[in-house]
Structure 1
Amino acid sequence: MPTRPFRFGVSMLATGSRSAWQAKARQAEDLGYDVLQVPDHMGMPAPFPALVSAADATTTLRLGTLVLNAGFYRPALLARDIADTDQLTDGRLEVGLGAGYAEAEFRTAELPYPAPAERVDHLAHTVAELHRLFATPDQVPAVRQSPAPPLLVAGIGDRVLRLAAREADIVGFPVMSLRTPPGGDPQQVLAERVDHVRAEAGARFGHLELNLFVSTVALTGPSAGAPDLTAARRLAPDLTEDQIRRLPNVLAGSPDEIAETLHRYRETYGLTYFSVLEPHLTDFAKVITRLR
């Protein structure tokens, strides 16, 4: 099977004015990113209007959600928003979905916070309904892409990854510290999660794209000291320094060294789609140039 090419996304955390937001979208496109992504958290941009505005300022950049909190939506209403956004972005939309995890955000939205199993049930129901609605010939509004925008399902637990393996186009892996036990090896956690997807996907596995969310990019150079892993330590306060450095979501080193790491991730795990956060927009672009 041919090697799948790399793709790179950047999750933008703030919009500001229309001109400032569109300038950031053009910058991401000019720096070589393939996808501009918007998360779905209270206090951050509303995903769909932000993506439509970014599309107006760009030509080839795809627009995605990483990821929508399925618990905030009812499937028919979400299908309407997806369809119109797909039309208004000229068929450049990619839809990322997750089960939702931040209890405080549900409370802020005045929504009940279901138990984990119920949140996954709702995610599965949402995915099934989106598939059904977009396959309906007279669905109004209709999506621009056929049969529908690519679907990314992100998670770390068995049930969410089973759903992603069987129903999505893209499987998203979030922060590996969420599954790393005391003394455990985060790289082994990633390998086990990929193996789980492979087993659940069966014949579909070769057609799936695997995405890794990168929480930290710490560039080093000849005159630089040790990489700044402060943000990574905040995300994984219970892990040792060695475990933090081995987190697949933490990329530290020179641009060439990080490029070598991503080649290894592709060869070892099949990961080809990497998403970084807005603060790492320009630093990670130095890595992208080495992988094109």
Structure 2
Amino acid sequence: MSALSDSQKIDEKGRTTRPFRFGVGILKPGSRSDFQSTARRAEELGYDILQMPDHLGMPAPFPALVSAAEVTSIRLGTFVLNTSFYRPALLARDIADTDQLTDGRLELGLGTGYQQAEFDAAEMPFPSGRKRIDHLEHTIRELRRLFASADHVPAVRQKPIPPLLIAANGDRMLRLAAREADIVGFPLTAGIKPGTEPEKALAERVEFLRDAAGERADDLELNLFIATVTVAPDKPDLSLLQKVLPSFSDEQILQLPSVLVGSEQQIAEKLQHYRETYGISYFATVDDSMEAFAKVIPHVR
């Protein structure tokens, strides 16, 4: 187990209490100047990491991160790559070049991919969930092997591999994350199932991960994706989430841990609760909520 940093503490349950971290993902393509202006704004607002998703119709993640590196000093991450789109050797080249060109600020977020429409648009077969996880496992093994070789060119700047985030929800993905990840990301509907309160569902997933991780549990940084943030007196706009979660009522959406609504202090207290109760200290939102979430950050630092 790694030594604790000066900013880490042990809570009453004997768990590591990590400092808060905040990330923001940029979803909207735009001009170079517009994109870099948004990246600079994220740093000015106090975000620790700027993140790029990996979806068709959104900016290509690796070039965007290199562009952001030109005008920021914060960390930069993929959140998360659709690993099913990549062959390991080609992905290793992109990772290593990006890690070098961002001066070792890259954090590597990996997922399996889940939207069949994107596979169809890319003229690629849509494998089963089992096969997509198989490919993710294979990719992680190959990345570690390639980066461990002195003959691999280009080399990563961060040895042996940039910090690895795995987005996980199901049992097999959580076991994989427990073995391989430095950071584990919980999605919008982590553990949600009929008859279970959303926060209890998230708590069950966290506990499953910790059990699977065993002695590694305290070394894992836990991340929660924040879908939307509304600071009072503004009223929440749930229109996008209503499209993503058509079977959920507005009341059910508002109960999701990933939906933050209230005063700055109320939201800050909720974040404190998530960290103290579940060990979740890293929160990532998207550009639509960037300004609103930034109002909360000073309340927990």
How far 1:220 moved relative to its partner? 1.2
CA distance, structure 2, for counterparts of residue 15 and residue 53 of structure 1: 13
CA distance, structure 2, for counterparts of residue 283 and residue 219 of structure 1: 6
Paired residue type of 2:238:
L
CA distance, structure 2, for counterparts of residue 30 and residue 247 of structure 1: 29
Residues 232 and 250, structure 1, Cα contact 8 Å, conserved in 2 = no
* Residue 94, structure 1, aligned to residue 113, structure 2: no
Identify the residue that residue 254 of structure 1 maps to in structure 2. Answer: 263
Identify the residue that residue 279 of structure 2 maps to in structure 1. Answer: 270
CA distance, structure 1, for counterparts of residue 95 and residue 103 of structure 2: 12
CA distance, structure 2, for counterparts of residue 165 and residue 76 of structure 1: 24
CA distance, structure 1, for counterparts of residue 257 and residue 270 of structure 2: 9
How far 1:264 moved relative to its partner? 0.1
Identify the residue that residue 81 of structure 2 maps to in structure 1. Answer: 68
Of the three residues 232, 240, 244, the one matched with 1:235 is 244
Of the three residues 149, 166, 181, the one matched with 2:162 is 149
Paired residue type of 1:30:
E
Residues 32 and 285, structure 1, Cα contact 8 Å, conserved in 2 = yes
* Residue 42, structure 1, aligned to residue 56, structure 2: yes
Identify the residue that residue 115 of structure 1 maps to in structure 2. Answer: 128
Identify the residue that residue 220 of structure 2 maps to in structure 1. Answer: 208
* Residue 4, structure 1, aligned to residue 18, structure 2: yes
How far 1:132 moved relative to its partner? 1.5
CA distance, structure 1, for counterparts of residue 118 and residue 218 of structure 2: 36
CA distance, structure 2, for counterparts of residue 27 and residue 242 of structure 1: 33
Paired residue type of 2:231:
L
Of the three residues 191, 199, 202, the one matched with 1:187 is 199
TM-score of the aligned structures, taking structure 2 as reference length: 0.92
Helix, strand or coil at the partner of 2:296: helix
Identify the residue that residue 5 of structure 2 maps to in structure 1. Answer: none
How far 1:5 moved relative to its partner? 0.2
CA distance, structure 2, for counterparts of residue 240 and residue 18 of structure 1: 39
Paired residue type of 1:171:
V
Paired residue type of 2:92:
A
Of the three residues 110, 124, 132, the one matched with 2:137 is 124
Residues 227 and 253, structure 1, Cα contact 8 Å, conserved in 2 = no
Structure 1 unaligned blocks of 5 or more: none
Paired residue type of 1:134:
F
CA distance, structure 2, for counterparts of residue 258 and residue 94 of structure 1: 26
CA distance, structure 1, for counterparts of residue 291 and residue 174 of structure 2: 31
Paired residue type of 1:10:
V
CA distance, structure 2, for counterparts of residue 232 and residue 28 of structure 1: 23
TM-score of the aligned structures, taking structure 1 as reference length: 0.95
Identify the residue that residue 13 of structure 2 maps to in structure 1. Answer: none
Identify the residue that residue 3 of structure 2 maps to in structure 1. Answer: none
CA distance, structure 2, for counterparts of residue 232 and residue 108 of structure 1: 23
CA distance, structure 2, for counterparts of residue 137 and residue 170 of structure 1: 26
CA distance, structure 2, for counterparts of residue 274 and residue 66 of structure 1: 12
Residues 154 and 173, structure 1, Cα contact 8 Å, conserved in 2 = yes
Identify the residue that residue 231 of structure 2 maps to in structure 1. Answer: 219
State the Cα RMSD in Å. Answer: 1.3
Helix, strand or coil at the partner of 1:117: helix
Paired residue type of 1:31:
L
